[in-house]
A and B are shown apart, each in its own frame.
Chain A
Amino acid sequence: MSPTAPKTRSRPDAAAAFFGDLASRRHEPLLHHATGTVRFDLRDGEAVEHWCLTMVKGDVSVSRRNAKADATIRMDKKLFEGMTRGTVNLTASLLRGLLGVDGDLGLLVVFDRLLPGPRRSRASFLERQEALAG
């Protein structure tokens, strides 16, 4: 299967944005324990997008290859995009049977650390901080 090029949409591609941002960081301390490659196979209708995340003690690189990986995770692209926006929880999705996982589950738990929480939770935290300061 050849990687599909991201389609042009009115809405920016959240998966591409997420991995783009991650790649630009080069080093992410939250990943410092992990060494290995995780491949995400994201289903978008008939097509499957591949994203390969390679972690070496916090150093990260991203590619679109359909490469062999230490862990492979299959899911709907929409679900993944929800995770990158903080509206979908990875662990609950896994328990619900929405993810297919092969290989080292530990890497999935490491990846989970990168996902944001709900936007509203962040906003209410900032409000509380302001109230304390004020």
Chain B
Amino acid sequence: MSTDVVKILDGNTFVVSDGRGDIEASLSDPTGLFSFDTRFLSKWVLTVNGERLDALSTDDLQYFEARFFLVPGTGTVYVDAELSVIRRRVVANGFHEELVILNHGADPVDLEVRIEAGSDFADLFEVKDALKKKGTYERVVDGECLKLKYRRQTFQRETWIIASSPAAVDEDGLTFTATVKGHGRWSTELEVTTVQAAMEPILRRASVPRQRAKVADSMAKNLASWVDGAPRLECDNDPLKVTYRRSLVDLAALRFVAPILPKHALPAAGLPWFMTMFGRDSIFTSLQALPFTPDLAATTLRALGARQGTRLDDFRDEDPGRILHEVRYGELTAFEERPHSPYYGCADATPLYVVLMDEYERWTGDTRLVRELEYEARAALTWIDEYADLQGNGYISYKRRNEKTGLENQCWKDSWDSISFRDGTLPGFPRATCELQGYAYDAKVRGARLARTVWHDSGLADRLEKEAADLKRRFNRDFWIENGQYFAVALDEEGRQVDTLTSNIGHLLWSGIVDKSKAKAVAAHLMGSRLFSGWGIRTLAEGEGRFNPIGYHVGTVWPFDSSFIAWGLRRYGFKREAAQIAEGILAAAEFFDGRLPEAFGGYPRTMTKYPVQYPTACSPQAWSTGAPLLLLRTMLGLEPMGDHLVVDPVLPESIGRMELLDIPGRWGRIDAFGRGRIDPARADRRSRGSR
């Protein structure tokens, strides 16, 4: 995608256009108007008197609204400044576009304004994988309205385009003719509506009912109250304030209303490929955002609970109790050419579901929700032992049952080559990656706490505690690589250690499964030059067979990953190291104007001086958006303790003074203060004791 791409979005409807506001998508290009995983416009081109326009400037400060200031001519020879064109677009169940043309000259001007429109109705999966369509197209001029239609059996999708002023409508677009007097103005409004006949009840629920004329207003108010509801950050470091605000706004933009819970929002995973409910991403983001916007966690728990697996279904990799991986609404899902209805092929979301529930209760004291979801939490805990232990060795492992379209790697590093031996060979399946065992341990420990304090089932609590202790003991024996002094990334199908050094060991600190005696060595690896790039933690250590600083899961730095690793280091008392990671990631954020991408290159900071963006990274992406939030929590050392919030700040010097005001929780609202004292350049690598 070129740099002048403009993206605006609302829930799972989004528009990606060029800097002029035009859309000319090819099959493999993710531009267009998308809703519920279907492209509803692949062509949307504005001409004035037969000429394309040239962008003077583009303003997309609001995530749901963009403004394009244009002039006729492509700018190659001269710019005719007699006319200017302002295009204002707002997303909402399709989009609304206002066209204004100003005549700056003294003489009247005859105008022919044309919008060319078309749609390929591609499923997002088809765009991603450049697949061909199987249905039939139709274009219908219905009075003033142009209807673009697609049909495959009973599957129908339509795009309706209508203007507020008279237009000549043909099958390829709309033409307006007008005479604008000297220093005069002409305008019209265009309404693009996505129609999904059989899905109407879903759509009605998923989109907040709005008065079209007030769409932008009400969205702006909603955004303002969202930002106001979050804690206020005061600090000496201006870029950090920018990053914080950017995170809150992007998190608001990525809010997604699941059709089954119409009044509540949870985080979708990321633009453009992942504007949908993802088990893992929604949970991680909710965890990161807990001290700031705890409602996201509540909705995530409810929505994922409502869609928890209840049966065995090999096509969907579904098991009873399993938390879903991904839901999709497009054509390929409808015709079961893809399994996302929903797809359950991930091994971590289920234990993480219990982790989130406990962390949510610790922050909010909302025991009602924990009681309401007791059945789902128990089912998730049961899944760990009954369905996830594929090898009968007491460890969670994964092997897809849908061998055609299921996911091979069902951990967060879900690309095909993410898990490898040091020499680069790939292990067989089932694979038991290490962080899954950490999550399982944490789920049992936290499940035990909920069982004892909320569900009043001490039998379950005792059993879970015993199982957790046993798991920890076995794990520290079976995964520990003695001569390397770190944990193997996985055990393969024969129980052999998959011996690469990876960022996964940081998640182990976060989960608490690491023996105290081993924590120091793990922290030293994380902060050593093979894993720590200066910006953050590489997914795979330098020197490993498959290491590549711009390899998706084999060398890049993922801000989300680093944020949980910082939390893990804090948990074991490595406060300075956690601050050092926070400094690196937040410094990187500055280069992206406060919006961290999904991943960036794993080159050493000293070499590039700036973070190298990964070529096809999603942005904004929910868990990258959440990373600065979790790092703020980590630096301030925020930790709920009963009805109190413990604040134990350890900040890098560059941050200076920092205040986080009105942190919501079971204590009401509390302020936290800190002052930067750690110089990352002279960071003390020694352990600082442990919890």
B-contacting residues of A (Cβ < 8 Å)? 29-30, 32-33, 86, 89, 91-92, 94-103, 105-106, 109-110, 113-118, 120-122, 124-125, 128, 132-133
Contacts and interface: CB of A to CB of B under 8 A. Distances in A.
Contacts of B341: 89, 91-92, 95
Interface stretch (B44-52, B303-311, B521-529, B586-594): B303-311
A89 B198 contact: no
A95 B199 contact: yes
Most interface-central of B201, B333, B392 (chain A CB within 10 A):
B201
Contacts of A117: 311-313, 318
A113 B310 contact: yes
Contact of B329 (A33, A95, A110, A120): A95
Interface string B562-606: 000000000000000000000000000000000000000000000
B538 to A, nearest CB: 36
B301 to A, nearest CB: 12
B306 A96 contact: no
B202 interface: yes
Given A92-B333, A96-B334, A30 B310 contact: yes
B197 interface: yes
Contacts of B198: 94-100
Interface string B313-348: 111001000000000011001111000011000000
Contacts of B153: 96-97
Contact of A86 (B197, B311, B335, B401): B311
A100 B198 CA distance: 7
Contacts of A118: 312-315
26 contacts: A30-B310, A30-B375, A91-B341, A92-B341, A94-B198, A94-B199, A95-B333, A95-B341, A96-B153, A96-B155, A96-B334, A97-B154, A101-B202, A105-B205, A106-B306, A113-B310, A114-B310, A116-B311, A117-B312, A118-B313, A118-B315, A121-B311, A121-B314, A121-B401, A124-B401, A132-B392
B359 to A, nearest CB: 22
A113 B318 CA distance: 12
A105 B202 contact: yes
Contacts of B314: 118, 120-121, 124
A101 B259 CA distance: 13
Interface in B644-691: none
Contact of A105 (B201, B336, B375): B201
A30 B308 CA distance: 10
B454 interface: no
A105 B259 contact: yes
A95 B307 contact: no
Contacts of B262: 106
A110 to B, nearest CB: 7
Contacts of B307: 109
Given A106-B260, A113-B310, A121-B312, A95 B334 contact: yes
A100 to B, nearest CB: 7
B375 A97 contact: no
B457 to A, nearest CB: 15
Contact of A115 (B197, B199, B311, B372): B311
A55 to B, nearest CB: 14
B260 A122 contact: no
Nearest to B374: A32
B261 interface: yes
Interface in B234-275: 259-262
B156 interface: yes
A96 B335 contact: yes
Given A33-B372, A110-B306, 8 more contacts: A95-B155, A95-B199, A101-B202, A109-B307, A113-B310, A121-B315, A124-B314, A133-B392
Contact of B154 (A96, A105, A125): A96
Interface residues of B, number: 37
Interface in B400-422: 401
B202 A32 contact: no
Contacts of A101: 201-202
A33 B306 contact: yes
Interface of B: 153-156, 197-199, 201-202, 205, 259-262, 306-307, 310-315, 318, 329-330, 333-336, 341-342, 372, 375, 390-392, 401
Nearest to B386: A129
B386 to A, nearest CB: 9
Contacts of B313: 89, 117-118, 121
Most interface-central of A106, A124, A128 (chain B CB within 10 A):
A106
B454 to A, nearest CB: 16
Nearest to A98: B154
Contacts of A29: 375
A44 B391 CA distance: 47
Nearest to A30: B310
Nearest to B335: A96
Contacts of A100: 198
A93 B156 CA distance: 13
Nearest to A108: B260
B335 A92 contact: yes
A29 B373 CA distance: 12
Contacts of B336: 89, 92
Most interface-central of B197, B198, B333, B392 (chain A CB within 10 A):
B198
A70 B202 CA distance: 15
A33 B154 CA distance: 32
Contact of A32 (B205, B259, B261, B375): B375
Contacts of A89: 313, 336, 341
Nearest to A132: B392
A98 B311 CA distance: 22
Contacts of A116: 311
B342 A91 contact: yes
A117 B401 CA distance: 14
A133 B391 CA distance: 10
Contacts of B391: 132
A90 B685 CA distance: 56
Nearest to A113: B310
A124 B153 CA distance: 33
Contacts of B197: 97
B396 to A, nearest CB: 15
Contacts of B261: 106
Most interface-central of A105, A118, A128, A132 (chain B CB within 10 A):
A105
A30 B321 CA distance: 11
| 8 closest residue pairs by CB, A with B | A97-B198, A117-B311, A95-B334, A97-B154, A117-B313, A91-B341, A132-B392, A121-B312
Contacts of A109: 260, 306-307
A129 B313 CA distance: 16
Contacts of B201: 101-103, 105
